[in-house]
């Protein structure tokens, strides 16, 4: 399984990097929408929605993305900024949700509606943040790669640090394998990568401290996104969100941390201007 995971990662990573660096923003937005909506398709399944309602909800989210693009002038991406802000706010509320493990565990109508709304609040703002960062000048494509590289590095750092040093459980009811030591290892890896990729993206020396702060918040957000998806899977009694990617599970299993980290990174970049 580890070998399969590595091979799949070695295929996916170059494709993602080439798309980020080479595609114009409008084409990357379309490709990212396909990936994120696939993740939403799996999210809806975890909430117990299937058949025609699942298709209708997916189309409605696609139309929301199209509306954001259509109503946003190229020189004033205010709707992308608003969606990003809403996404960051949602993940703060999700932190409270994680503290109430049993909330939404049963398929009562109110809880299911909240889970459906959470899917939109996770997917659409993350997509909007991705487009916002990539479209930014100068070097928006490099900054988007920086944001994603931070999440990827944090995920890998947490995995290896957790296996080597993990003792204290981070959230045993939600994700028993996650440890505090793994979190710290992921945070360290994310900060190191932020420095390297931030330099390639052209960060000014005076802004390095702000970059590290935003990177740290993005890493913590990525852990939150991972835990929230784990909560959904626990409620649904599922090991993975899907089986699209060999050795990795579903698309949502791969982008859960990205969904939370991108709005935080994009918002931080807008606020501190690096």
Phi, psi at 25, each rounded to 5°: -55, -40
User: Residue 59: is it exposed, middle or buried by C-beta count within 10 angstroms (0-12/13-18/19+)?
Assistant: exposed
DSSP code, position 206: G
Per-residue pLDDT at 247: 60
Per-residue pLDDT at 92: 94
Per-residue model confidence as pLDDT tens digits over 113-142? 888 999 999 999 999 999 999 999 889 999
Per-residue pLDDT at 108: 67
The whole-angstrom separation of Cα 4 and Cα 246 is 6
Per-residue model confidence as pLDDT tens digits over 247-257? 668 999 999 99
110 to 49, 51, 105, 168, 212: CA distances (angstroms): 14, 20, 11, 35, 39
CB 166 within 8 A of CB 159: no
CB 46 within 8 A of CB 241: yes
Instruction: Note down pLDDT in tens along the chain; length 274 residues.
Output: 566 767 777 788 899 999 999 999 999 999 999 999 999 999 999 998 889 999 999 999 999 999 999 998 877 899 999 999 999 999 999 999 998 888 777 766 677 788 899 999 999 999 999 999 999 988 999 999 999 999 999 999 999 999 999 999 999 999 999 999 999 999 999 999 999 999 999 999 999 999 999 999 999 999 999 999 999 999 988 988 887 776 668 999 999 999 999 999 999 999 999 9
Token couple for 73 = 């002038």
Per-residue pLDDT at 73: 84
The whole-angstrom separation of Cα 31 and Cα 9 is 18
Own/partner long-range contacts of 161-166 (Cβ < 8 Å, ≥24 apart): 161/185, 161/186, 161/188, 161/189
């Amino acid at each position: 399984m580890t070998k399969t995971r590595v091979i799949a990662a070695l295929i996916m990573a170059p494709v993602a990097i080439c798309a980020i660096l080479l595609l114009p923003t409008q084409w990357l937005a379309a490709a990212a929408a396909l990936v994120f909506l696939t993740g939403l398709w799996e999210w809806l399944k975890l909430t117990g929605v299937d058949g025609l309602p699942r298709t209708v909800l997916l189309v409605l989210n696609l139309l929301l993305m199209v509306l954001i693009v259509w109503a946003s002038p190229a020189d004033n991406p205010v709707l992308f900024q608003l969606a990003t802000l809403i996404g960051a706010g949602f993940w703060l509320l999700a932190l409270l949700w994680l503290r109430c493990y049993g909330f939404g565990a049963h398929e009562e109508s109110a809880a299911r509606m909240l889970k459906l709304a959470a899917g939109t609040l996770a997917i659409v703002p993350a997509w909007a943040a991705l487009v916002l960062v990539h479209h930014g000048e100068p070097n928006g494509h490099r900054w988007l790669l920086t944001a994603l590289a931070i999440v990827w590095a944090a995920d890998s750092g947490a995995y290896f640090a957790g296996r080597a040093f993990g003792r204290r459980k981070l959230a045993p009811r939600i994700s028993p394998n996650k440890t505090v030591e793994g979190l710290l290892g992921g945070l360290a890896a994310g900060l190191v990568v932020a420095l390297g990729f931030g330099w390639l993206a052209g960060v000014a020396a005076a802004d390095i401290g702000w970059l590290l702060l935003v990177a740290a918040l993005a890493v913590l957000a990525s852990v939150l996104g991972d835990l929230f998806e784990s909560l959904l899977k626990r409620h649904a009694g599922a090991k993975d969100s899907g089986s699209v990617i060999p050795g990795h599970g579903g698309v949502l299993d791969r982008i859960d941390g990205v969904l939370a980290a991108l709005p935080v990174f994009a918002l931080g970049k807008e606020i501190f201007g690096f």
